[in-house]
Amino acid sequence: MNQDTLSEIARTGQSSTGSIDYTLFRVINNLAGQSHTHDVVMIELAKFSPLVYVGALVLLWLTWKPKNQRAALFAGISALVALGLGQIVGYAFPRDRPYLSHHVSLLITHSPDTSFPSDHTTLAFAVAIAVWQFNRRAGVTLLIFGVLVAVARVFVGAHYPGDVIGGAVLGAITSLIVLRLFEIPVMRRGAERSFELLGRMRLASAHNLES
């Protein structure tokens, strides 16, 4: 198989993995348009899920409980890092959106940027995994919501299943690495001082990372 053939396979997504990805995409996306109620729910999930995650972090902070505020801070940091890494991955491995390569049921308008990885699931799983480390109930709730978001992004025609899975993996791994980095003494002391400063400004609960 020559280089031109390999390039064509990569471009059209007709490798065995790509065809499985497209088959799964068709199974999910073909459900669109069959129920107005389902379409509306999926559109809302696909479009506005980032607001839900931002709202969840704000609510966690406003509980004024030390663990919840740590969860909100580290989840926010993890999400920003993961989204930044996602931009790099997308630039290095660009992939056309499904609606640019195939006839799909597209329920939302979207810019023709790279399809891989999904920013929405990157954000969702980065936040959910970080929160889960501090608050199991909230973390599981956000993880379940993240799965729904992943399905919705495929349902509306914005992503292939591989895109949302890739985003989920990127977000989860990034959160675990960020949390591990904050176990390094110098990073931990920096976080402690940040919380102390916020506490003195009455913007956070008076606590340290040992509480």
Q: How confident is the model at residue 207 (pLDDT cuts 50, 70, 90)?
A: low
Residue type, 17: T
The more confidently predicted of residues 21 and 19 is: 21
* Rounded Cα gap, residues 179 and 189, in angstroms: 14
Q: How far is CA 5 from CA 10, 19, 101, 169, in A?
A: 9, 16, 18, 30
* Rounded Cα gap, residues 99 and 113, in angstroms: 11
Write the pLDDT tens digit of every residue in 40-88: 999 999 999 999 999 999 999 999 999 999 999 999 999 999 999 999 9
Residues with Cβ < 8 Å from 86, sequence gap 6 or more? 117, 119, 122, 167, 170
* Rounded Cα gap, residues 113 and 110, in angstroms: 8
pLDDT at 149: 97
pLDDT at 77: 96
CA angle at residue 60 from 168 to 51, to 5 degrees? 55
Write the pLDDT tens digit of every residue in 92-143: 999 999 988 888 999 998 777 899 999 999 999 999 999 999 999 999 999 9
pTM of the full structure: 0.85
pLDDT at 119: 96
pLDDT at 162 over 90: yes
Q: How far is CA 43 from CA 54, 56, 154, 187, in A?
A: 18, 20, 11, 40
Q: What integer best gives the mean pLDDT of the chain?
A: 87
